[in-house]
Amino acid sequence: MCNLYAMTKGQQAIRDMARAMRDTTGNLPPLPGIFPDYPAPIVRNAADGVRELAMVRWGMPSSKKAIFEAAKKRAGKLEAKGKAVDFDELLRMEPDGGTTNVRNTASSHWKPWLGVANRCVVPLTSFSEFDHAAKQDVWFALGEDRPLAFFAGIWTAGWTGVRKIKTGLETTDLYAFLTTVPNAEVGAIHPKAMPVILTRPEEVEIWMTAPWEQAKALQRPMPDGALQVVQRGGKRDEALSG
């Protein structure tokens, strides 16, 4: 599961490769470490039909079943302590930390967001998978010079819910990106999955504009040899510090 990546290329390069016609990100600095539940740049098909570069929060809504089970578990703990529980209110305020990676696109939970209106691409220059054997993050990129690429993603506007109990109800736009089976390089570290990565403008166009029957073919691993390990250890890509 990819829960850490970096994006260190400039806005113009992102806009050019993804053909974004509007940029609402302001002055976008290099982002050597992007973590779940924080805002990061995506290129999305906006409601007015304009393709735009925007800052959106990482982590799509979790399934209703997952939230229900979490609330049920929390209710059980409260009841075990002898506390009264209003389950409907508990469920309404159950924190949803968000789902960062989307694998099963056949799930009824994800189907509403697979159309063109809810697709996005997420710029990256490197990403990390955690090596449990070595107990460190391993960073992958297309090359030592960190070429620009994109994750194939989905997004939703105006989600209202609770991320953290202390902040309560929030309304925000959210995104996540797709995963697939890993190629050889990623599989050596994380054998279950790797992000879906787009490296060519024509792939971006298919993802952003094509019917799902055509776009879903992009949910595949990169060819073996397409990625290389560029850093071992660290919670941020240190390429800019050298």
How confident is the model over 196-234, as pLDDT tens digits?
Answer: 999 999 999 999 999 999 999 999 999 999 999 999 999
pLDDT given for residue 108 in this prediction: 95
If asked whether residues 109 and 181 sit together in one domain, one would say yes
Q: How far apart are CA 106 and CA 7, in angstroms?
A: 29
Rama region for 232: left / alpha / beta (φ>0; ψ in -120 to 50; rest): beta
- Rounded to 5 degrees, φ, ψ at 36 are -55, 145
Three-state DSSP state, 134: coil
Using CA atoms of 141, 142, 146, 147 in order, give the dihedral in degrees to the nearest 10.
Answer: -140
The answer to whether residue 69 scores a pLDDT higher than 90 is no
pTM: 0.92
Dig out the tokens for 242 from the structure: 């050298």
pLDDT given for residue 75 in this prediction: 74
How confident is the model over 12-33, as pLDDT tens digits?
Answer: 999 999 999 999 999 999 999 9
Cα–Cα nearest to 8, from 148, 153, 175, 177: 148
Three-state DSSP state, 26: coil
**Quick check: is 240 in a domain?**
no
Rama region for 195: left / alpha / beta (φ>0; ψ in -120 to 50; rest): beta
pLDDT given for residue 90 in this prediction: 64
pLDDT given for residue 115 in this prediction: 97
**Quick check: is 181 in a domain?**
yes
Number of domains in the chain: 2
Q: How confident is the model at residue 241 (pLDDT cuts 50, 70, 90)?
A: low
Q: How confident is the model at residue 242 (pLDDT cuts 50, 70, 90)?
A: very low
Please list, in sequence order, all residues whose beta carbon lies within 8 angstroms of the beta carbon of residue 83, skipping any fewer than 6 positions away.
none
If asked whether residues 72 and 186 sit together in one domain, one would say no
If asked whether residues 82 and 110 sit together in one domain, one would say no
* Residue span of the structural domain in which 52 resides: 5-61+96-207+215-233
Q: What is the mean pLDDT of the chain?
A: 93
